[in-house]
């Protein structure tokens, strides 16, 4: 089955990739969790920032201040959800060259970690990630500028397979030296 991505940003250049189906998006539950977490974070920041002015008793117009506070809270929550949903524009691919990570839509970034530069690989699970069977893969490299990459929102099984595959590539490269 030849699956072509519908997002034009994911169309590979003719001279770079032959198999666009090799790119993996994050699961929908990861995008939703990340968006919800960012929405809550932005909302809490606005609540803390506006608590003093909203509760000041020496100025008139309590209902006006509460209305402004609620409007700011709603706007911040919506902005947080939008920012958090950026995860849906992330793709990863593992091939014989190493790990590739594409991120962004307007500001597009593509990172390649050659297998020969990988030092070690970690998997992180926060409490919410464990609940939703998600993981974050951290690849530590031997590079001076880029000390590693973080791939958020991976399915737990995918993260373990990536870790094992990168470790296997690392072991094979170490045996060749």
| CB-side neighbour CA atoms (13 Å) of 3 | 7
pTM: 0.71
Statement: residue 127 has pLDDT above 60: yes
Confidence band for 159, pLDDT divided at 50, 70 and 90? very high
What CATH number does the domain located at 90-176 have? 2.30.29.30
> Cα angle vertex 13, ends 119, 24, to 5°?
50
pLDDT tens-digit map of 6-57: 433 333 333 333 335 688 999 999 999 989 888 888 888 888 887 776 666 5
Instruction: List the one residue out of 68, 75, 93 whose CA is nearest residue 154.
Output: 93
Kindly give the pairing relationship between strand 109-114 and strand 98-103: antiparallel
Confidence band for 131, pLDDT divided at 50, 70 and 90? very high
pLDDT tens-digit map of 53-98: 666 655 566 667 777 778 888 888 888 888 888 888 999 998 888 8
3-state secondary structure of 31: helix
Domain boundaries, the chain: 28-85, 90-176
| CA distance to 25, 115, 162, per residue, from 141 (Å) | 23, 9, 15
Cβ atoms of residues 149 and 99 within 8 Å: yes
Averaged confidence pLDDT in the chain: 78
Cβ atoms of residues 114 and 162 within 8 Å: no
| CA distance to 19, 43, 90, per residue, from 107 (Å) | 23, 25, 12
Statement: residue 129 has pLDDT above 90: yes
């Amino acid at each position: 089955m030849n699956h072509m991505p519908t997002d034009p940003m994911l169309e590979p250049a003719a001279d770079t990739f032959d198999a666009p189906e090799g790119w993996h998006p994050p699961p929908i539950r990861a995008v939703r969790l990340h968006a919800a977490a960012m929405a809550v974070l932005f909302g809490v920041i606005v609540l803390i920032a506006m608590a003093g002015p909203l509760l000041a008793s020496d100025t008139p117009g309590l209902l006006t201040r509460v209305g402004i506070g609620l409007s700011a809270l709603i706007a911040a929550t919506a902005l947080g959800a939008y920012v958090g949903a950026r995860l849906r524009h992330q793709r990863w691919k593992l091939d014989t060259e190493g790990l590739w990570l594409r991120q962004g839509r307007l500001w597009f970034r593509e990172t390649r970690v050659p297998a020969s530069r990988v030092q070690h690989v970690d998997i992180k699970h926060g409490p919410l990630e464990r609940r939703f069977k998600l993981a974050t893969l951290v690849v530590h490299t031997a590079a001076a500028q880029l000390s590693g990459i973080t791939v958020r929102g991976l399915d737990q099984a995918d993260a373990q397979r990536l870790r094992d595959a990168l470790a296997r590539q690392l072991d094979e490269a170490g045996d060749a030296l």
